[in-house]
Structure 1
Amino acid sequence: MKYSMKKPNVVFIIADDHRYEAIRSSGNAVVRTPTLDALSAEGTALEGMHIFGGLTGAVCAPSRACVNTGRPIFESMIGSDVSVWEHSVNIRPDVPLMPQTFRDGGYHTYAVGKWHNDKGSFARSFAGGDKLFFYGMSDHDRVPVQPFDPEGRYPQERERISEAFSTELFTDAAVDFIRNHDRERPFYLYVAYTAPHDPRTAPEPYAGMYDPEAIPLPSNFMERHPFDTGDMEVRDEKLARLPRSEAEIRRHIADYYAMITHMDAQIGRVVSALKDQGIYEETIIVYTADHGIAIGQHGLMGKQNVYDHSIRIPFIMRGPGVPQGLRISAPASNIDMFPTLAELCGLRMPSGAGGISFVPLLEGRERLRPVVCTAYRDVQRMVKDGRWKLIRYYHSPVTDTGTDRIQLFDLEADPWETRDVSDDPANEPHIRRLAGELQRWMEEGGDIMKEVPVLPA
């Protein structure tokens, strides 16, 4: 793959709660996402992208840290005690971040929207920004935002409540930056939406776009999950009544799709701004999310689990050096995003990162990871190789929740993860093989659960 001497611009867009399958080009025939579909057709979609995991119910914070550090959460955060909130949010001050590396490499780095990690890591990463949001969530029409602070302190008294809808607010700021940037210097623009996170209150005409009665229920809809996953009382799980009702879940999905379609239209405005400025072809655009979400699948509502609906995320990339119309199913982790973009832009990756550049996948040269794994708190671990998926559940001595057991799914025969086949003696070799891969991953990443046997006694 050849690169031009001029470094490409980068627009890195990350959404909140957008699961992989909720895009038309990913096979969902109901949701409308023309902008993302076009970006996918013009570039590459990595269909096997998964999150590394999270240490608390607010999975978005550690997941975004993994994206921006290229490291496992156990190595990128200031600690890994699941009972300490700061350990899931604050990035170690000695760990270089993706925007920081682009800044050191000559890029003008600019941020818009949500930064759910510590303000110190933000300050060393960005040289500019606007409409900055340092929390996990808010009402979409009352977002507490700040302008860029050259001193990097961002005290709460600088916040102002914006009544513009969050997705439009952040898009306005991104478009303004694109229109006014210095053409002589490459830029790295980080656009972090809070959509389609609840409250799922898309503005008109999007709010009524999807008829709940016409929404098909997913094949793995359940009235309730059959056992304790270790986090059944988290906020997200209380957004719908138990047992889950078909009508209520259809309404939630309709609202979710409305948020996504509205966000897709706003991403279209970013694309149009790049085209208007004549820099679309020299810009790498990335679209991804911090995690997915259940919304009725497996009887769950949130993302505090390791089923595919919660850990598998979209990853679409188009621009210089990116093949057109390519769909890659190979396993990948969100810690791989940083090294990939660094290689595409000719930047030296900081030492110590655990992520792997998947540029060789773009070139069709090799499969990089035999498996991909995910961790959630001290109660769940997951490993999958493309066809077979093993989930390990633990009972947590910290919270006295969770179940000591495993699940095994044949994703080729059962992509919705509805039939646990771990009791079939014929599958014992798959269980042993995947357990060995998971143990290796846990040891290499410094997992807090690495001393506990992967397979229950």
Structure 2
Amino acid sequence: MEQRQMRNRKTNVIVFFTDQQRWDTTGLHGNPAGLTPNFDRWAAEGTHLFNTFTCQPVCGPARASLQTGLYATTTGCYRNGIPLPEHARTLANEFHDAGYKTGYIGKWHLASTKTEPVPEKLRGGYQYWLASDSLEHTSDTYDTVVYNNDNERVKLPGYRVDALTDAAIRYVNGHQNDPFFLFLSFLEPHHQNRRDDYPAPYGHADSYISAWTPPDLAELGGTSQRHLPGYYGMVKRLDEALGRLMDTLISLDMADSTVVLFTSDHGCHFKTRNEEYKRSCHDSSIRIPTAIWGPGFQGGGRIRELVSLIDLPPTLLHAAGLEIPAGMQGRSIVPLIKRQEVDWPSEVFVQISESQVGRAIRTKRWKYSVSAPQRDAIKDSSSDLYVEEFLYDLQADPWELNNLIESEAHRAVKRVMRERLIRRMVEAGELPPRIEAVQEHPRGQLKVLDSECQE
């Protein structure tokens, strides 16, 4: 009894973080391939954040936001290859100061593409370290190479997902009596860069040849027919890893004292929207599977409000009973779970880099995106002038196949969305820009009611 009380004095927190995983890989989002039975079950028992979106659809910036609770332009990590500032306050710092042990396993991507192994000063304050900055370059499918606290090269046995999961299970087992915050960061289902393929465990991809294809990929193609079988196989193995981790918590009598967050950094559009797999405003790039279970989240049901990746750091702190720093730019979802009256934003704000200097907002009905073609997508983090680029009616066109940005009938919608986007940019710390409207043309019988502009 004394050991149990010691173990439960604080709520443990685990982040199960995947890379480049579309929201519609999960059964709860309608994928019929049976890839995620563990995620589906645990999300149904806990809290499923049905409408969750990244605030920056590329690896490093998204990770900087998740570690700090700040937008990428606030941390300065607006693109890959910019190290997280040494003075940045991270989740590891917050939990450590509250008496937690902190651990990081897997892909970091917040030091520099030229920094391996990651020096201690660039590890975000994590105490236990078994990671690589760019895991896709230090390892391969069955060659998992990471570095430990002493910057020693460590090769872990097994398929990469399993190797990292085994390490996480060892960490949990070794910290049964310590409150801990563990960040488990996978590379899968991200592509293996040097070959540009999606390598599933041996035999897994064969099960998903000609499997269900999301409508956007069915129409636009890209590399989806070549890559979906491997991608699905990777997702399946990640879900199996989630099941193993949850089994570990159950077997150690820790499931009732541990909050587990499942989420991803961004999605994957399989080169249908640009020449890469992400870095666009489309849901295939920005919408991510997210659920939380554990103390305070069991029976939370399906939350349909629009949630941003930047809302997850304050949520984790809130769940652990810790104070949320005033500077964090997101907000905790705990009041939504408790069904409290809360003035929750009716849109999510997205910053886009590397493919373009872009900004977007997404409401339940509309997607509106602008870009700054006169700016360098690598050198410039923002602009004082943007041009309208995309408008989608997500009610009539959920797969974003009909761009309405030039539609004369949608002038009022664009005006409302333009104002909302500028307001969100200012709230994020940016200067108010000028947004140029594109030339409009009649679009047949299209018509928008006044009441629909605000949806």
Query: 1:98 pairs with 82, 88, 91, which one?
Result: 91
Report deviation, 1:393: 2.8
Q: Structure 1 residues 121, 334: closer, same or farther in 2, change over 3 A?
A: farther
Contact (CA 8 Å) 1:330, 1:367: kept in 2 or not?
Answer: no
Query: Where does residue 336 of structure 2 map in the other structure?
Result: 361
Report deviation, 1:129: 3.3
Q: Structure 1 residues 436, 136: closer, same or farther in 2, change over 3 A?
A: farther
Report deviation, 1:111: 1.5
The count of residues paired between Structure 1 and Structure 2 equals 410
* Aligned counterparts of 2:279 and 2:424: Cα–Cα separation in 1: 20
The reply to whether residue 211 of structure 1 matches residue 209 of structure 2 is: yes
Query: Where does residue 128 of structure 1 map in the other structure?
Result: 128
Q: Which amino acid aligns with 1:106?
A: G
Q: Structure 1 residues 422, 77: closer, same or farther in 2, change over 3 A?
A: closer
Report deviation, 1:121: 6.0
* Aligned counterparts of 2:42 and 2:246: Cα–Cα separation in 1: 9
Report deviation, 1:50: 1.1
Q: Which amino acid aligns with 1:134?
A: D
Residue correspondence of structure 1 range 94-173 to structure 2 within 5 A: 94-118=87-111, 119=118, 120=120, 123-130=123-130, 132-138=131-137, 139-149=140-150, 154=151, 158-162=152-156, 164-173=158-167
Query: Where does residue 408 of structure 2 map in the other structure?
Result: 425
Q: Which amino acid aligns with 1:317?
A: I
Query: 2:21 pairs with 8, 18, 22, which one?
Result: 18
Report deviation, 1:370: 2.0
After superposing the two structures, state which structure 1 stretch, 186-195 or 348-357, moved more: 348-357
Q: Which amino acid aligns with 1:37?
A: D
* Aligned counterparts of 2:433 and 2:213: Cα–Cα separation in 1: 43
With normalisation by structure 1, the TM-score equals 0.83
Query: Where does residue 370 of structure 1 map in the other structure?
Result: 346
Contact (CA 8 Å) 1:215, 1:254: kept in 2 or not?
Answer: no
Query: Per-residue CA shift, 1:285-314, capped at 9, x if unaligned?
Result: 110001101025457650121100111111
Q: Which amino acid aligns with 1:204?
A: Y
Q: Structure 1 residues 28, 301: closer, same or farther in 2, change over 3 A?
A: farther
Contact (CA 8 Å) 1:223, 1:299: kept in 2 or not?
Answer: no
With normalisation by structure 2, the TM-score equals 0.83
Report deviation, 1:443: 1.9
Contact (CA 8 Å) 1:60, 1:291: kept in 2 or not?
Answer: yes
Contact (CA 8 Å) 1:13, 1:285: kept in 2 or not?
Answer: yes
* Aligned counterparts of 2:125 and 2:37: Cα–Cα separation in 1: 32
Q: Structure 1 residues 351, 367: closer, same or farther in 2, change over 3 A?
A: closer
The reply to whether residue 327 of structure 1 matches residue 305 of structure 2 is: no
Query: Per-residue CA shift, 1:61-82, capped at 9, x if unaligned?
Result: 110110110001111136x5x6
* Aligned counterparts of 2:313 and 2:85: Cα–Cα separation in 1: 17
Query: Where does residue 65 of structure 1 map in the other structure?
Result: 64
Report deviation, 1:409: 1.0
* Aligned counterparts of 2:276 and 2:70: Cα–Cα separation in 1: 28
Q: Which amino acid aligns with 1:140?
A: T
The reply to whether residue 180 of structure 1 matches residue 174 of structure 2 is: yes
Q: Which amino acid aligns with 2:400?
A: E
Tell me, which stretches of 5 or more residues in structure 1 are unaligned? 225-243
Report deviation, 1:163: 5.5
Query: Where does residue 433 of structure 2 map in the other structure?
Result: 451
Query: 1:312 pairs with 287, 292, 301, which one?
Result: 287
* Aligned counterparts of 2:436 and 2:319: Cα–Cα separation in 1: 37
Q: Which amino acid aligns with 1:125?
A: G
Q: Which amino acid aligns with 2:286?
A: I
**Bigger relative contact order, structure 1 or 2, given CA contacts below 8 A and separation 6+?**
1
Residue correspondence of structure 1 range 253-268 to structure 2 within 5 A: 253-268=228-243
Q: Structure 1 residues 367, 261: closer, same or farther in 2, change over 3 A?
A: farther
* Aligned counterparts of 1:430 and 1:270: Cα–Cα separation in 2: 46
Q: Which amino acid aligns with 1:71?
A: L
Query: Where does residue 361 of structure 2 map in the other structure?
Result: 383
Q: Which amino acid aligns with 1:95?
A: A
Query: Where does residue 201 of structure 1 map in the other structure?
Result: 199
* Aligned counterparts of 1:296 and 1:368: Cα–Cα separation in 2: 33
* Aligned counterparts of 2:21 and 2:125: Cα–Cα separation in 1: 25
* Aligned counterparts of 2:124 and 2:214: Cα–Cα separation in 1: 45
Q: Structure 1 residues 49, 387: closer, same or farther in 2, change over 3 A?
A: same
Residue correspondence of structure 1 range 275-294 to structure 2 within 5 A: 275-294=250-269
Tell me, which stretches of 5 or more residues in structure 2 are unaligned? 1-6, 112-117, 193-197, 380-385, 440-455
Query: Where does residue 250 of structure 1 map in the other structure?
Result: 225
SS at match of 1:47: strand
Contact (CA 8 Å) 1:220, 1:418: kept in 2 or not?
Answer: no
Q: Percent same amino acid among aligned pairs?
A: 28
Report deviation, 1:330: 1.0
* Aligned counterparts of 2:283 and 2:325: Cα–Cα separation in 1: 30
